[in-house]
Amino acid sequence: MQMEKNYCEECGAELSNGLDCWNTFGAVIAWEAHDPELVAEHFLTVASYNLQHPSQFADGVIAQLQTSFVGYLSGTLTLDQIRSRTRKAFNGSRRVLRPIEERRPVLRRWPMTIADVYLGDQPKGAAERVRAWAASIRQELAKVPSLEQANAAKSTRRKVKR
């Protein structure tokens, strides 16, 4: 008999309230309709979730998101600049999502996840929790090279070998 997992196989969040990460994320997004402070943090909510669940995205998408996320948090990019860059990079026929059959989640445990933002029926303070979540992700990203840096290093190693 196979035991059911009680954690997300991608971000390591403990699953509770009968909700997986996607449904927990949806519940937080639903709170935005009644919370102007939370809706103001919509980019951070979506970016944080997607950075912790990268297997659904095509190559290059997460690297671009990570750059935008860090730029926004550091104050070097505005939401308008991020939207413009994203439109240029991914408009038209460029696919952003991987086909479902190509998604391969890899577990990476994070100190804070969507499960720490969604506290059941406690929407009060959610915007503050989203900001804390985003800050924790930024700290974790600073510990490892960015995807762009890693890809550039691979490319350089390939050129040197030739």
pLDDT per residue as tens digits for the range 51-60: 999 999 998 8
**For the chain, what is the mean pLDDT?**
88
Is the per-residue pLDDT at 145 higher than 70?
A: no
Lookup result for tokens 């102007």: 36
pLDDT band with cut points at 50, 70 and 90 for residue 93: low
User: What's the first-to-final CA gap in the chain, in angstroms?
Assistant: 51
Band the pLDDT of 95: cuts 50, 70, 90: confident
Of residues 42 and 149, which shows the higher confidence score? 42
